[in-house]
Amino acid sequence: MTSLKNMSVYDRCDFLIGFGNNGNNNVERLGYESNKTLGEMINLALANKCPIIIKNGRNGKWYLKGQGKTTEFLKAEIERKKGTTREGVTCYFLEFN
């Protein structure tokens, strides 16, 4: 069973954007409703092995991303993109056991 080892939070950070044939919203391509809690999203991320959770603004949707991507790739993308997205967008990086 997958469990959460660590979670890091990055403000103004989003990446792996898009859906369709090049889709990166791995579980629900159009996102999850904004009224879900962070706890609910962590549980969904664990169940689907998605190490990236994006909250697209205070009242924005949630997105699960990064399924099948290496930790090294995701960390490099976070470093490249953090602080570059509009205010209110938050990236949660989950590390699993």
- Residue type for position 26: N
Does residue 1 surpass a pLDDT of 80? no
Percent of the chain with pLDDT over 90: 76
- Sorting pLDDT into bands at 50, 70 and 90, what band is 89? very high
Nearest 5°: the CA angle 18, 9, 45 is 55
- Specify the pLDDT at position 16: 86
- Give the chain's mean pLDDT: 90
The count of other CB atoms within 10 Å of the CB of residue 51 is 21
Q: What is the pLDDT of residues 12-57, one digit of tens each?
A: 999 887 654 445 666 887 889 999 999 999 999 999 999 999 999 9
Q: What is the pTM of this model?
A: 0.90
- Specify the pLDDT at position 2: 80
Does residue 84 surpass a pLDDT of 80? yes
Give the whole-angstrom CA distance, residue 94 versus residue 81.
Answer: 17
- Residue type for position 68: G
Q: What is the DSSP string of 26-68?
A: -S-TT-B-TTS-HHHHHHHHHHHT--EEEEESTTPPEEEE-TT
Q: Taking the domains of the chain in order of start, what are their residue ranges?
A: 33-85
